[in-house]
């Protein structure tokens, strides 16, 4: 492992740790603002490496930097009639929780309640999370993932506003090259061979520097629109108006049909119309906050779709780890995989310093966007599960008020702990599979 590779890994690990810390700050700050008690704030899991108390909160680092947590007292309400205030020998009041222990899941719920309330003082009963107004609960639990999304936004904005979006290039509908012949896309050698027909653009006499004005009467506004019109024209007649040396020039031709990829992200071939020109690439698109928000909106849709197929993708990663499949280079990766990617990017001699930094920041931004959206999934133990519980509480109480019925009280999210355990085990298994895949069959960046 080279020093540069190690620096890339270190950069990624530190960036993720900072992101985790800020995620937990996103929970802690509003929780304290609303009066909830926050006794612990830790980065990592396992044995404590370092800690320091400031006020009523203990801040620290744990041995395994694979996450973090902020302890907010009273996340789980007591069972009905189960809350009991006890007075110790020193006169200090603590709150104990009684509950039934019949059945496996009932026992788990009872134990979880007891653990949640073990260190609650008698004076803390009005500072418990479950007693907060539903909208305060939503703000506290949404604070963490919202911070991750904000980190992603500011990183992407910084990249897009300076060097531009490498995945969204500005293409001008101005001819930079006229292809001589129609070469089948699947042929590795793209040089013209005997029998290859001339391109419609060559036959029409189009020239380098021609700016497309219209095709078949449709005014051209950008290359993507022109490309769609050509692809949809099949082998039909095409009346093309271009601007050449400041004057309009009209040419007549017939576009031909050839197999081309469906899109830049889908290599499936389809029969489409073909003209035979190469447009002018103006480079990555440079944009500000509005452009960044729009782009992240589209990226969010893609991430949500990917989350729906995550278990299947993880299954294929597992098959790749066992040597039964090829690893999908565009599939999910763990933090270990992210660190490997960062190391390879940093050590690559194919990227200059700017491209290396942009790629590393893009990887960190992408992880933050994924972490933020993933945590909004409405299932415990994720933040979205608590948000869903608070929203359900608001709806239930609202309906009761409209019907002039008694307040149904707080929602008991402890009853959903069996679901949380199942989800937690599933997340643990998927995480281990991804880590194994990233070690045994890592993605190939082609660097």
Q: What is the set of active-site residues? A: 24
83-87 and 93-97 strand pairing = antiparallel
DSSP structural state of residue 198: B
Task: Find, among 38, 36, 72, 65, the residue nearest to 50 by Cα.
Answer: 65
DSSP string, 26-44: HHHHHHHHTT----EEEEE
Whether the Cβ atoms of residue 277 and residue 286 lie closer than 8 Å to each other: no
- Total residue count of the chain as it appears in this document: 447
* Distance from C-alpha of 212 to C-alpha of 231, rounded to nearest angstrom: 15
Instruction: Report the helix count and the strand count for the chain, using DSSP H and E.
Output: 11, 12
Other beta carbons less than 10 A from residue 177's beta carbon = 12
Q: How many CB atoms lie within 10 A of CB 103?
A: 10
Q: What DSSP element (H or E) covers 278?
A: strand 277-285
One DSSP character per residue, 202-271 reads HHHT--TTPEEEEETTEEP-SHHHHHHHHHTTTT-EEEEEEEETTEEEEEEEE-EEEEEESSSS---EEE
- In angstroms, rounded to a whole number, what is the distance separating the alpha carbons of residues 97 and 114? 6
Q: Which residues contact 80 (CB under 8 A, 6 or more apart)?
A: none
Which residue(s) pair with 278 in the sheet?
177
Residue 386 corresponds to which tokens in the numbers above?
A: 């608590």
Distance CA 22, CA 16 (A): 10
First to last CA, the chain: 15
């Amino acid at each position: 492992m080279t020093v540069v590779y190690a620096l890339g890994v270190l950069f990624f690990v530190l960036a993720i740790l900072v992101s985790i810390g800020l995620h937990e700050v996103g929970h802690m700050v509003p929780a304290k603002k609303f009066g909830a008690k926050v006794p612990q704030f830790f980065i990592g899991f396992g044995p404590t490496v370092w800690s320091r108390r400031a006020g009523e909160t203990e801040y620290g680092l744990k041995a395994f930097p694979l996450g973090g947590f902020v302890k907010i007292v009273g996340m789980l309400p007591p069972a009905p009639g189960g809350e009991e205030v006890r007075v110790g020998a020193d006169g200090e009041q603590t709150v104990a929780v009684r509950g039934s222990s019949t059945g496996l899941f009932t026992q788990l719920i009872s134990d979880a309640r007891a653990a949640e309330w073990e260190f609650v003082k008698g004076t803390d009963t009005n500072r418990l999370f479950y007693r907060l107004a539903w909208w305060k609960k939503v703000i506290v639990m949404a604070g963490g993932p919202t911070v991750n999304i904000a980190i992603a936004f500011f990183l992407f904005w910084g990249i897009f506003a300076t060097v531009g979006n490498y995945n969204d290039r500005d293409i001008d509908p101005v001819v930079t090259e006229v292809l001589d012949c129609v070469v089948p896309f699947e042929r590795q050698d793209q040089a013209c061979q005997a029998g290859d027909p001339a391109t419609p653009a060559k036959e029409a006499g189009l020239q380098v520097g021609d700016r497309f004005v219209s095709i078949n009467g449709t005014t051209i506004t950008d290359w993507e629109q022109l490309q769609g019109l050509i692809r949809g024209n099949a082998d039909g007649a095409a009346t093309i108006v271009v601007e050449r040396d400041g004057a309009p020039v009209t040419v007549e031709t017939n576009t031909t049909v050839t197999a081309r990829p469906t899109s830049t992200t889908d290599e499936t071939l389809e029969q489409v119309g073909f003209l035979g020109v190469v447009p002018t690439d103006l480079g990555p698109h440079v944009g500000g906050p509005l452009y960044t928000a729009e782009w992240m909106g589209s990226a969010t849709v893609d991430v949500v779709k990917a989350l729906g197929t995550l278990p299947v993708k993880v299954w294929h990663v597992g098959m790749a780890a066992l040597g039964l499949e090829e690893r999908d280079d565009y599939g999910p990766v763990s933090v270990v995989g992210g660190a490997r990617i960062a190391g390879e990017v940093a050590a690559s001699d194919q990227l200059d310093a700017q491209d290396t930094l942009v790629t590393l920041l893009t990887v960190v931004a992408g992880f933050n966007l994924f972490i933020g959206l993933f945590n909004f999934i409405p299932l415990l133990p994720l933040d979205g599960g608590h948000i869903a519980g608070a929203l359900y509480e608001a709806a239930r109480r609202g309906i009761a008020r409209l019907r002039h019925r008694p307040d149904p009280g707080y929602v008991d999210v402890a009853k959903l702990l069996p679901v949380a355990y199942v989800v937690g085990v599933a997340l643990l298994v998927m995480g281990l599979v991804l880590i194994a895949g990233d070690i045994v069959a890592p993605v190939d960046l082609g660097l």
